[in-house]
Every structure is written in C-alpha cells, then in structure tokens.
Amino acid sequence: MKILNLVFHPDLTHSRNNQTWKSQFEASGKVATSRDLYSEYPDFQIDVKKEQALLLEHDRIVLQFPMYWYSMPPLLKKWLDDVFTHGFAYGVGGDKLRAKDLQLVVSVGGRQEFYTGFDIFTSVPDLLRPFQMTANLTQMNYLPPEYMFNSDAASEGIIQAFGERLVEVIDNPKRSDARQYLYESMDLASL
C-alpha cells in the first residue's frame, strides 16, 4: 500500500504536534511520500496537475492538519476546491479516487470535555463530516479519523506516544473497511 501524507499547517516549524507526527511517519518508512503543503504553496497557487498525479500514484491519502475554527486550515480547503475537480474526483469520468482510502489525522486544541456531543458541544467526527461526505461523493473509503485533544497543552511524551500509535495503525489494511475495523478494534465483533 502506497501512502501519501499531506500536511497542512500554516507554520509547521513552530508546530509541536503535526511536525512531530510528520517526522515519526517519515522515520517509520511506512509513508511513501510526505509533504508540507504550506511550504510548497506559500502563495496558495496550487499545481493541480501535480497534486492529481500524486493522488493517482498512491492508495491511501492522509490529510494531516490542526483544527482551526472547528474546521480546516484555509490551504486545505483551497486544495480540495482546486484538486477534487469535476471529471477527476466526481461527475462524468470522475472516478479517479475510487477505492482509495482517506485518512484524517487532526490535532485539536480543545479538551475532550468540549467535544462530548452534548447540548452546546459537538463531537470531532461531526465536525469532520464534510470530509466524510467528500469521500462518499468521490467513492473513497473514509477511514476512522485519528485526532488528539488538548494538543496545545500536551507534553512531548503524550505527543510522541500519539504519533507512535499513528505509525502503528497507518498502514493497517483492515482500516479500509471502517465499520468492520471499528467493531474489531472495539471488540464488538462478538456481541
């Protein structure tokens, strides 16, 4: 399985979480291609042909980013707008992403208590729903998203440990069947 890791962080050199996880992915040898998109496109002028060619070459696409305003950093939004075009990602002839995996890796500044899904609070999977809808439209497999709370206050040890778990699961082929994988990892298969 060829894995493409795309990191969207406006200031990766001052990032604690995403920089660490990107380095851990690279050191693991499990990720075929790893990129810092903000440094490649400081002027937001995305090379669409290059991005689409890279997507075609890989089987699992990892989008790694910090949660900003309950959403994604702006370059990631523009990347989706520019690269997931009609005739490529959806519409007539637009099946080029079919059966590829879409894996999100997200650092979340807020504490878990603020993402309970109760009353005024929402949950991270709910906030990430636009990605799931995008995966549906483009016929990609939406893998269970990976996210870490309290990312600004987390110790180096916690950040590293989260990264180690990411490295462990990132190439797991079972994740391509998200529901089955969740049942198995939660040990619900026997219920």
Cα angle 109, 110, 113; round to 5: 155
Structure tokens at 100: 């590829």
Q: Does 109 bind ligand FMN (CB under 6 A)?
A: yes
Q: Which residue number, 122 or 185, has a Cβ lying nearer to ligand FMN?
A: 122
Tokens of 39: 């440094």
All residues at 6 or more sequence positions from 30 whose CB lies less than 8 Å from its CB, including other chains = 3, 167, 170, 171
CB of 10 to ligand FMN, least distance (A): 8
- Which residues are within 8 A (CB) of 111 and not within 5 positions of it... i.e. 6 or more apart? 149, 150
Nearer Cβ to ligand FMN (71/180)? 71
CB nearer ligand FMN, residue 93 or residue 157: 157
Taking the least distance from each CB to ligand FMN, the nearer of 68 and 183 is 68
Please, what is the Cα angle at 87 between 82 and 92, to 5 degrees? 150
Instruction: Kindly identify the residues of this chain, within the stretch 49-68, that bind ligand FMN according to CB under 6 A.
Output: 66-68
5 part of the interface to ligand FMN, by CB under 6 A: no
Q: Footprint of ligand FMN on this chain (CB under 6 A)?
A: 9, 15-18, 66-70, 107-110, 151-152
